[in-house]
Amino acid sequence: MISKEENDLLCCTGPGTPMGELFRRFWLPVALSRELPKPDCPPVRLRILSEDLTAFRDTTGQVGLLGRYCPHRGASLFFGRNEEGGLRCVYHGWKFDVNGVCVDMPNEPTECSFRHKIRQTAYPTREAGGVIWAYMGPQAKMPELPQLEWTLVPQSHVYVHKRFQHCNYLQNVEGEVDSSHVSFLHREFQPEKFEAAVAGQVLLARAKDSAPKFLVEETDYGLAIGARRNWDADQYYWRLTQFLMPSFTLIPSEAGSPINFTAAVPVDDTNMAGFTVTWLPDRPMTVDDIHTIESWTGAYAEVDPRTFEPVANRRNDYLLDRKRQRTENFTGMRGIREEDIAVQEDQYGGPIADRTKEHLGTSDVGVIALRRRLLNAVRNLQRGYEPLEPRRSYSYRVHPLADLANHDVSFEEVAHSAMSNGLS
């Protein structure tokens, strides 16, 4: 259990908040590249860290991320004309380039120098892995992009997806590092059905031990969280999840299987954008790979392709089927991501979980370590100490792990194996 003050410190990410300042020290995924498919295409609305923004791709193909409201009279730049190297406000024609420079002010006399005094809020962007990334922190402290493997392999090896969730970002991240819930929330009564739905989880589908022992190691990128289950007289079944600062995770998968990355990016304190990425380090995605993903039974939720809102949502009880719950799986819901969303959006009945009411056990070691890592980082930043993880971009190139190991193999050896795989 944590205090109300600690809960607020962890969950509030708007401008000027301590956690908001911490998030602004990292590059964050903010949109899919395909949302801005070509130069001079229509702009898109975004809201990140409680800031209203507009993203556009200019004539040269560069992505700009501007404050949404024109500094003249506050009209939304989402309605703007994307043309000839800038976004033009439809109210009075003021035009801004990707750096926020006012390049035209046609409602003022040509001899007027007023436009040279105007700058619109603009944040640097990069594109990698089919995702648009933004850095919203102090320019002098801007780091490199994190060297996540899926941003470095050919795009044909990667499947990337976006969804919105109507809860605080931390509820999702805590679920991602909690390997004990998979034995219940995601239980299929026929193990082979789970294997077919989620590539790389054959061992998990057959595991009998539902009370894993958790071990945690601090790392340069965040945390390595091990969940060790009894398997037989000689072996343990290990699941190693990485938490990568500030809100990224790698989901355990077996060797040779697709690898899954997730990011929970605060839209504001009660909503988040979830990015899920599957990639194969050494070959392109096949039709069968895509078919497994788009069955929507695994780590992906089916969404409206225009709004990115999940098809299974609070309004329709996440398509809960009570007959299925009796005969097919533990929840009666279709897929793993939909099950996660259902419990995360309704923890303690609200979009921000009241963690002062919790009763944590030994299975919550990873969740406790996650909170401690974030609290330490945000308190250090308040004291003037910058987070080190953004400067360690190389350390983000790691792999998760799900495998059997003999009883004499230590957690440190398991964690090192996962780090070595990602760097090979």
CB 228 within 8 A of CB 237: yes
Residues 107, 195, single domain; the answer is no
For residue 307, count other CB atoms closer than 10 A to its CB: 9
Residue 356 lies in a domain: yes
| Cα–Cα distance measured from residue 366 to residue 264, given in angstroms and rounded to the nearest whole number | 17
Task: Give the end of a domain, one of 111, 141, 171.
Answer: 141
pLDDT for residue 149: 97
For residues 149, 151, 154, 155, the Cα torsion angle rounded to the nearest 10 degrees is 130
Q: What is the pLDDT of residue 110?
A: 81
Shared domain for 157 and 111, answered yes or no, is: no
pLDDT confidence of 247, banded at 50, 70, 90?
very high
Q: What would the pLDDT profile of 101-114 be if each residue is shown by its tens digit?
A: 999 999 988 877 78
Q: Are residues 318 and 418 in the same domain?
A: yes
* Same domain? 285 vs 166: yes
Return the closest-CA partner of residue 201 out of 286, 284, 334, 299.
Answer: 299
Closest CA relative to residue 396, chosen from 96, 31, 144, 115? 144
Whole-number Å distance between alpha carbons of 56 and 62: 8
Look-up of token digits 């969404």: 303
User: Is 84 among the domain residues?
Assistant: yes
Same domain, 206 and 127: no
Mean pLDDT, to the nearest integer, of 147-168?
Answer: 98
Q: pLDDT tens digit string along 373-418?
A: 999 999 999 999 999 999 999 999 999 999 999 999 999 999 887 7
Average pLDDT over residues 224-237: 96
Q: 127 in a domain, yes or no? A: yes
Q: In terms of domains, do 134 and 179 share one?
A: no
Residues 6 or more apart in contact with residue 23 via CB below 8 angstroms: 13, 49, 136, 246, 247, 266
In a 3-state reduction of DSSP, which class is residue 378? helix
Does 339 map to a domain?
A: yes
Q: Give the pLDDT confidence score for residue 197 in this predicted structure.
A: 59
Residue 76: how many other CB atoms lie within 10 Å? 16
- Predicted model pTM: 0.95
Query: What CATH number should be reported for the domain holding residue 42?
Result: 2.102.10.10
- Domain range for 371: 149-423
**Percent of the chain surpassing pLDDT 70:** 97
> 220 and 278 share a domain?
yes
* Cβ proximity of 297 and 289 under 8 Å: no
Instruction: Answer whether residue 241 is part of any domain.
Output: yes
Asked, as a colleague might, if the bond just before 246 is cis with ω within 30 of 0, I would say: yes
Task: Enter the tokens of residue 184.
Answer: 């219940």
Overall average pLDDT of the 7-11 stretch:
98
Q: Which CATH number goes with the domain that contains 177?
A: 3.90.380.10
Say which DSSP state 41 is in.
P
Average pLDDT value over all residues in the chain: 94
Mean pLDDT value across residues 212-240: 96
Higher per-residue confidence, 114 vs 41: 41
164 strand-pairing partners: 273
Domain end point (choices 125, 141, 157): 141
DSSP string covering 136-192, please? -S-GGG--PPP--GGGTS-GGGEEEEEEEESS-HHHHHHHHT-TTGGGTTT-BSSHH
Please tell me whether residues 130 and 154 are part of one structural domain.
Answer: no
Token code pair at residue 402 = 């799900």
Residues 159 and 120 in one domain: no
**Are 131 and 162 found together in one domain?**
no
Of 141, 163, 196, the last residue of a domain is: 141
How far apart (Å, rounded) are the C-alpha atoms in residues 335 and 299?
8
Whether residue 2 is contained in a domain is answered as no
Q: 181-189: long-range contacts (C-beta < 8 A, 24 or more apart)?
A: 183/207, 183/210, 184/210, 184/330, 185/330, 185/331, 185/339, 185/340, 185/343, 186/329, 186/330, 186/336, 186/339, 187/329, 187/330, 188/328, 188/329, 188/330, 189/327, 189/328, 189/329, 189/330
Report, in this order, helix, strand and coil percent for the chain, each rounded to 5: 30, 25, 40
CA dihedral (283, 401, 182, 337) in degrees, to 10, reads: -30
17: in domain: no
206 and 307 part of one domain: yes
Q: How many structural domains are present in the chain?
A: 2
Neighbours of 281 (CB within 10 A): 16
pLDDT, tens only, 271-303: 999 999 999 999 999 999 999 899 999 999 999
Confidence of residue 424 (pLDDT cuts 50, 70, 90): very low
CA distances from 396 to 20, 52, 329 (A): 21, 29, 35
Domain identity same for 305 and 382: yes
pLDDT level of residue 420 (50, 70, 90 thresholds): low
Instruction: Answer yes or no: is 11 within a domain.
Output: no
* 8 A C-beta contact, residue 24 and residue 246: no
